[in-house]
Chain A
Amino acid sequence: MHTFAELTIVFIILMDLALAVTGSLSSCIRLVALQGVVAGVLPLLAGHGAPHLRAVAFAAVIISLKGVIFPWLLMRARDRSGAGKDVEPLISYPASIMLCLGAFIASSWLGSRLPLPEANVAWIVPASLATIFTGFLLITTRRKAITQVLGYLVIENGIYIFGLALFVEQPMMVELAILLDVFVAVFVMGIAIFHISREFDHIDTAELSELSDWRRGEYGK
C-alpha cells in the first residue's frame, strides 16, 4: 500500500513543477483540480488495512469538491470574464521553475529539521511544504486574478497534505466546516473576478493599484 502512497507523493511534487511552467490557464485549472483529487485519495492509500467508511465518505466529498465543482466554477469565471488563454506570469517560466526547485530543496531541508512525529509516508512533509510554496509563487508572480485563486487552492492542498503528515485528525464537523469555508471562498472570489472583469475590462491584478497612501488623493482632480 505504501508504495502507492509514495508514488502519489512524487506525483504531487511533479504537479507543483508543472504548475510553475504551464502557460495555459485551463491546464492550470485542471492541474490544480487533479492535485486536489490526488491529495483527497492519499489518506485512503496511506492508512493501514481497509479504509474506514468515514474516511471514504470524506474523500468522496473532497474529490467532488476539488475535482468537479472548483474547476467548473473557475472555468466559468474564466469564460465569463473573457480572461484569455494565457497565464501571463510576471517572471519568466525558467525563473518560475528555478524558484519552485529551490523551494523544494528548502522544503526537504526544513522537513528534516522540523521536530515532527515520524511520518509513515516518505517525503510527505517536504511535498506538502513545496506545494504551499508553489501556491505562494502562483499568487505573487502571476498577473490574473484567477491564478491568485488557483494559488490559494494550491496552498490549501499543501496544508491538507501537511495535516495528513502530522496525523492531526480533526472531528468531522470541523473538517466539513473548513471545506465549506474553502468552497464559499472560491465561490465569492469567482463572483469578485466576474465583477472585476466587468468593471475594469480586464482581470489583471497588477493594475489594481489605485488605493495606496502616497499616490492617493490626486484622482479625478
Chain B
Amino acid sequence: MTQALLLLPLAAGLAAFLIRGDGARRTLLVWTARLHFLLAALVIYDAVSGGRVSALLPPAGEAVWFSFDSLGLLFLGVTSLLFLGASHYAVNYLASEKRDPGEDSDEGFIFNNAPEAVFTGCLLLFLSAMTAVTASRHMGLLWASVEATTLLSAPLIYFHRHKRSLEATWKYLLICSVGIALALMGNLFLGAAGLKSGAGLDLKALLLSAGALDKPLLKAAFLFLFVGYGTKMGIAPFHTWLPDAHSEAPAVVSALLSGALLNCAFLGILRVSAVCASAGLADFTGGIMVLFGLFSVVTAALFMLGQRDYKRLLAYSSIEHMGIMAMGAGLGGGAVFAALLGALSHSLAKAGLFFTSGMVLAAEKTKRIADVKGLWRRAPRTAALWLAGFFLITGTPPSGVFLAKFIILKEALALKHYWLAGTFLVFLAILFAGMARIFISMTFGERDAKPDEKPFEEQSGMLAPAAAFFVCVILAGLYLPDWLQSLLAGAAANVGGRP
C-alpha cells in the first residue's frame, strides 16, 4: 500500500510529461488524485478501524524507509484530500487558461504560460514528494523528500512566465534551499548525538534510545532543524519567501503550498521535537516553538494591516496559522491535539480561500484590494464563498479553526502563561479586525461603474472544491467522528514521543 501511494503519483507524473493531448493529461491528473485519495483513505481506515496504527510500523530493530504512524497518516490524509480538490480545480483552471491567453492583471502586459505538460507533471511529482515526507521513517530521507518538494514546486510557481513570478520563484528556490541546507546540518548533529548509542537517523531507533542521546548535540540538532524546516514552514522571521511565492503562483498552486507543503515542513519539526521530548528536552524545544510561534502571529498581524494585495493577505494569514500551530505543539498536553486539528482545519479553509481568490482574480482582473469592491454584484457565489472563508479562517465558530485556537488559549491559561495568552488574544483580535475590514469592503463595497465590462461566468467546477472544503471545516468544528478523534489523539501521542 505504502509503495503504491508513493509510486502512483510518481509514475503518473513522469507519464504526464510524455502525453501530448491536453484532455488525456487532465484526465490522468484527476484520476491519479482520486486513486491516491482512495488508497490513502483505505490505509487510514485500515489503521483506525482495528486500532492497528502501531501494527503498520515495522517491528523494533528493523529499519524501514517508508511506513506510517498516526502522525504520518494524518498529514497524508490532509495532503491527499487537498490534492483531490486541487486537481478538480486545476483541470478547469487549465482549460480556462487555454481559452484566453494571459494578460497580466496588474501591469497589463501579455505573457505565456509554462507548457501544460510540465505543470501537470510537476504537480503529480510534487504529490509524490509530499507523500514521501509523510511516510519517511528516516530523518535523512525526510530531509531529501522535503528538499524534493521545494525543487518540484518551483516550476509550478513560475507557471505564468513573467518578471514577478520569476522573482518569486528565484527567492523561493534560494531561500528554501539554503534553509533546508541548515536542516541538513541539524541532521548531522542529530546523527552525532546518537553515535554512542548507535541510533543512526532512523526515527524509531532514535525514539527508543532517546535517553542515551547526547543532550547538547541534540539541542544543537533541534535548533538547526527548527530554523531549516521553519524557513520552509514560514515561521517568522524566516518567512520572507512566502508572501511573494503565494501571491505570484496560480491560485491552485498557492492552495497546495499553503495547505499541504507548509504542513510537510511542520511535520519535519514535529519529528525532531518528538525525539527531543522523549529525551526529556520538551521544555527546551517547547519554549523555542512557543516563542517563534507567537512572533509569527505578531508579524503576520502587523503586515496584514497595511496589506494591499489580497493574495499576500492570505499568505500572511498562513504565517499566522503556522505560528499558532507551532505554539500549540510547543505548549504540549492538550494543545498538541489542538495544533494538529488546527493544521487540518487551516489546510482545508486556506486552500478553499485560495481557490476562491483565483475566482476573484478571474472576475476582477486585479489583485489589488482597493480595486475590488462589491464583488457580490459581479460574482455572487464567489463572494459568498469569499466571505464564508474569511469567517472560517479567522476562527468564527463553528469552525475547526475556532476549536483549535480556543483549546490552545485554554491550555496556555491552564499552564499559567497569562502574558502569552493575553498577547495571543490581542493579536488575534487585531487580525480579525484587519481582515474583516478588507473582506467586507471587497464583498459589499460600492462598486465602480464599468460599462464595458462583460458579465462574469462563475464555473461551478471551480467553486465546488472550495465549498466542499468549507463544509469539512465546519463539520470539524461541530463534531469530530470517533475515527478522526482517535487519529488525532494517536498523532498527538506521536508528537509527545511515542514511537
Contacts and interface: CB of A to CB of B under 8 A. Distances in A.
B54 to A, nearest CB: 24
Interface in B153-169: 154-155, 158, 161-164, 166-169
B277 interface: no
Contacts of A152: 174, 177-178, 181
B140 A196 contact: no
B238 interface: no
Contacts of B174: 139, 148, 152, 189
A184 B181 contact: no
A185 B151 CA distance: 6
A117 interface: yes
Interface string A166-192: 111111011101101100110011001
Nearest to A192: B170
Most buried by B among A139, A170, A189, A196: A170
Given A116-B217, A159-B184, A188-B151, A174 B140 contact: yes
A219 B216 CA distance: 50
Q: Number of contact residues on B: which range applies?
A: 35 or more
B188 A163 contact: yes
A137 interface: no
Contacts of A210: 163-164, 167
Nearest to B151: A184
Interface string A47-58: 000000000000
Contacts of B151: 181, 184-185, 188
Nearest to A214: B306
Contacts of A220: 106-108
Given A148-B174, A174-B201, A185-B177, A115 B184 contact: no
A2 interface: no
Contacts of A139: 174, 178
A130 B65 CA distance: 33
A208 interface: yes
Contact of B181 (A159, A170, A177, A180): A159
Nearest to B367: A217
Given A115-B216, A152-B177, A213 B163 contact: no
A112 interface: no
Contacts of B200: 170-171
B195 A174 contact: no
B308 interface: yes
A152 B262 CA distance: 22
B368 interface: yes
Interface string B110-147: 00000000000000000000000000001011011001
A146 to B, nearest CB: 12
Nearest to B245: A211
Q: Is the interface of A mostly helix, strand, loop or mixed?
A: helix
Interface residues of A, number: 48
A168 B195 contact: yes
A199 B166 contact: yes
A24 interface: no
B204 to A, nearest CB: 14
Contacts of A219: 106-107
Contacts of B148: 181, 184
Interface in A195-213: 195-196, 199-200, 205, 208-211, 213
A19 B25 CA distance: 47
Contacts of B166: 192, 195-196, 199-200
A166 B309 contact: no
Contact of B163 (A115, A145, A199): A199
Contact of A208 (B107, B147, B171): B171
Contacts of A209: 167
B147 A181 contact: yes
A148 to B, nearest CB: 6
Contacts of B147: 178, 181, 185
A205 B217 CA distance: 36
Given A166-B191, A170-B201, A114 B309 contact: no
Nearest to A174: B140
A114 B219 CA distance: 12
A189 B177 CA distance: 10
Interface string A116-143: 1100000000000000100010010000
A205 B170 contact: yes
Interface in B167-189: 167-171, 173-174, 177-178, 181, 184-185, 187-189
A164 to B, nearest CB: 10
30 contacts: A139-B178, A162-B188, A163-B188, A163-B191, A166-B188, A166-B189, A166-B195, A167-B195, A168-B188, A168-B191, A168-B195, A170-B140, A171-B200, A174-B140, A178-B140, A181-B144, A181-B147, A181-B151, A185-B173, A188-B155, A188-B173, A192-B154, A195-B161, A208-B167, A208-B170, A208-B171, A211-B167, A213-B312, A220-B107, A220-B108
Interface of A: 114-117, 132, 136, 139, 145, 148, 152, 155-156, 159, 162-163, 166-171, 173-175, 177-178, 180-181, 184-185, 188-189, 192, 195-196, 199-200, 205, 208-211, 213-214, 216-217, 219-220
